[in-house]
A and B are shown apart, each in its own frame.
Chain A
Amino acid sequence: MSKKQIPEVDIVVDEKAGVIREVKQATRSKSGHERRVNTSIYIILVIMSIIWLAPFVFLVFQSFRSYKLESGGMVDYLLPKNGWSLDNYRFLFEGSNFFPWWGTTLLIAALCAAVLTLATVMIKRLGSENRHMKTLLTVLALVVGYGLFIALMVRLLGLAVSAEIAGKLVLSALLLLIAGYIVARFYLKQDSRLLRSIPGYEKEKTSDVVKKVIALFAEFAVIFAILACILKPMTASQYLNWYGNTLTVALFTAVIQTVIVLSVSYALSRLRFRGRKLIMNVVLVLGMFPGFLTMITLYFLLKQLGLTQSGAIPGMILIYCASSGMGYYISKGFFDTIPKSLDESARIDGATRFQVFLKIIMPLAKPIVIYTILMAFMAPWGDYVFASYIAFGSEPNFNVAVGLYRWVNVNDYQGYFTRFCAGGVLVALPITALFLALQKYYVEGVTGGAVKG
């Protein structure tokens, strides 16, 4: 017989509690042992945190060492000896009118966003029951806002009107219209008089309204900033060029790839049709081939289309998006968890499959949509291989990864190391901020994906 004593039963049911929580407390003397364990865990965690953060802290420190006065290369000390300097950062922007451009653009964007927000809120408060009237007014406001934006850009920034710019103007107008539609759809959806008359109807809180207005303003401001980036009426430095390229690629990839991935995963998860299994098996087999195998072929295919070197930006977007349908696993796994009876119920209610997709599944799939957008947006920032191959030798068309990699590895890195650090910091900052802000959705995506395989 074992002498093990059966611990007394004192189970604390605590829903939120983690799993390993009450592992010890029953048998041992709680306080002393528990405290020792916790202390050692804290020590381990602190050490880990130091290891995890140290490289990033070092990176930041070294980015402030002047390459002119001290040394741009690698040295065996950390803190700058000749004082902290912004030389590296200055270098990144050298030769560009970025700051005046950005300042003015920001002003213009803020102004236009304010005008549009005001217009939208006013239209919303009109309280008209006529949806068409509202939509018309919204479109009118958009046109006015956009016109104002263009006029100011031309006037204040001396935007030269050429065929290329005209094309970009049309493109950006489309962008704005799409955004405007979304805005009209969600912000103008004022509850009708009838709805307000039902019992249990809760009036919107003032704080909610304020939040909505702020969100609206931010949304417009971001759109205008993006438009400004597309229009690009500035002389850019080498680094800014790369940065702009990457941002453009990332934005387009995020949108297109998300649409593709969601379409494919919805089709494979919810619809039943001949060849569904075949498609999944073919994708599985194709996925086992290493991606770089296809690189040369893709290069020549793109070359035929004129999408290499000087056309590398659309080329990259094409490459990132073309095969993105193969990465459907995680979002399909998510769709699989939404009960099928919702679809069936909606179909009996009279919805087409397209309407089911748009009105039922999409609103429920918000976390996975955000996860997909986040992943699609982040990937282009880190891609070196395809980007360097497609843009081979055409420096203005590099993305940040290629440009910075060349600074440290191909150029004399002894001279460019601190500038690489500065460039890296500027790339990492917004991406990290975005990631940490949306961390929740990322966690949801990876855990869901891992559990379902």
Chain B
Amino acid sequence: MASVTLEHVKKIYDNNVVAVHDFNLEIKDKEFVVFVGPSGCGKSTTLRMIAGLEDISEGVLRIGDRVVNDVEPKDRDIAMVFQNYALYPHITVYENMAFSLRLRRMDNEEVHKRVVQAADILGITEYLGRKPKQLSGGQRQRVAIGRAIVRNPAVFLMDEPLSNLDAKLRNQMRAEIILLRKRVDTTFVYVTHDQTEAMTLGDRIVVMKDGYIQQVGTPQQVFDTPTNLFVAGFIGSPQMNFLKARLEKGANGYQVNVLGVQLPLNAEQNAALTERGVLSQDITLGVRPEHTSVLFEKTAGAIECEINVNEMMGSELHLHLSSQNGDRIIVRLPTVDLSAEQRSRLAYGNKMYITFPAKVMHLFDPKTEKNLIFG
């Protein structure tokens, strides 16, 4: 059990490409941290630096109190699960799991005890005598995890462990990882490009892009108060809607002008903006699809849109709309509340009207892409 601390960690490759810029993070003991971001954002590189598979170009990496910059991976007391499982194809599942213990010259009885115990946790006891080739994807994934937990590592690293599985299996394994985490109580660092995984698994999420940390926070924080356009767009599905708008500072507080509609902000927002000294300016207005309501009749304060596509998802509808000036907007509608008559009106080309309360509005500066309130 140990904390992991990264101070000004930087990765520069031989061809002078900077993969990770000035990475600062303290991962507490027994915390589950998820690095999330699009491919090429440096999340895997950071994880591999923690593992010791990549050299650290600058900065300091600590596991516990020890500086481990120049410590070989085998001496870092870590375990890692790879995206493609990396099981040794020529030996049985049992030996795969025992491999690291045998290298440490552990007693046979103890090895056996640990392997059987880990296999029991993961429900792969009946496959111990098989070779990895004879297993399905999900079983291989379990073996890979088992190989890591037999060692009781101080830090548990996972590099996109679920992305080679099909959608159904992925959901199932995700739940199992949550369970597993309760049983093996240790520090987890988990890398994924899938925001759902990040939200469901992490105690804290680190959102990355182009080698920079965009935001660090609990799933709720990242969802509610994204610090910039990128985080706002990346977290949440379907993606947050972005509309061109203008922020006006009036006598009785700020208001947002969007598509010819004036929307006053609430007291908290007003206070924050005043404190920051924000003036009237063009902004990008962000509203999540699930925070938007749809009206069938023209109402004051509602924005007029036209229906493009109506995606039926079962319990809900994803309505793709376009505004008068071409902004694309997605709205989530629970299907239970809709009458048959209403449904029939959700057809291509029909006019709809959308509204949202002030507190769900996110205001971004279009130039710096920062959140005007939380950024």
Contacts and interface: CB of A to CB of B under 8 A. Distances in A.
Interface of A: 129, 192, 194-195, 198-202, 339, 341-342, 344-352, 355, 360, 363-364
3 nearest A-B residue pairs (beta carbon): A200-B129, A349-B100, A341-B86
A241 to B, nearest CB: 43
19 contacts: A192-B108, A195-B94, A195-B112, A199-B129, A339-B86, A341-B82, A341-B83, A341-B86, A344-B51, A344-B73, A344-B86, A345-B80, A348-B53, A348-B73, A348-B79, A349-B74, A350-B100, A351-B103, A363-B90
A355 B128 CA distance: 23
A446 B278 CA distance: 71
Contact of B129 (A202, A344, A351, A364): A202
A194 B94 CA distance: 11
Most buried by B among A195, A342, A348, A352: A348
Contacts of B108: 129, 192, 194
B260 interface: no
Contacts of A360: 88
B89 interface: yes
B102 to A, nearest CB: 9
Nearest to B89: A364
A347 B125 contact: no
A345 B89 contact: no
B109 interface: yes
Most buried by B among A198, A349, A352: A349
B305 interface: no
A348 B52 CA distance: 8
A213 to B, nearest CB: 23
A346 B102 CA distance: 12
Q: Most B CB atoms within 10 A — which of A202, A342, A350, A364? A: A350
Interface in B64-79: 72-74, 78-79
A201 B112 contact: no
Contacts of B99: 346, 349, 351
B92 to A, nearest CB: 9
B86 A342 contact: yes
Contacts of A342: 86, 88
Given A349-B100, A349-B147, A350-B104, A344 B82 contact: yes
Contact of A200 (B79, B89, B130): B130
B101 to A, nearest CB: 9
Contacts, number: 78
Interface of B: 51-53, 72-74, 78-80, 82-84, 86, 88-90, 94, 99-100, 103-104, 108-109, 112, 116, 125-130, 147, 151
A6 B111 CA distance: 65
Given A201-B129, A348-B78, 8 more contacts: A200-B129, A201-B128, A342-B88, A346-B88, A347-B72, A349-B147, A349-B151, A364-B89
A159 B215 CA distance: 83
Contact of A198 (B72, B94, B104, B109): B94
A192 to B, nearest CB: 6
A345 B125 contact: no
Contacts of B53: 344, 347-348
A102 B99 CA distance: 47
A351 B99 CA distance: 9
A352 B90 contact: no
Given A194-B109, A342-B88, A363-B90, A347 B73 contact: yes
A350 B51 contact: no
Contacts of A347: 53, 72-74
Given A341-B86, A346-B99, A364-B89, A200 B127 contact: yes
Nearest to B81: A345
B123 to A, nearest CB: 12
Contacts of A201: 128-129
Contacts of A346: 88, 99
A211 B289 CA distance: 68
Nearest to A353: B72
B47 to A, nearest CB: 11
B116 A339 contact: no
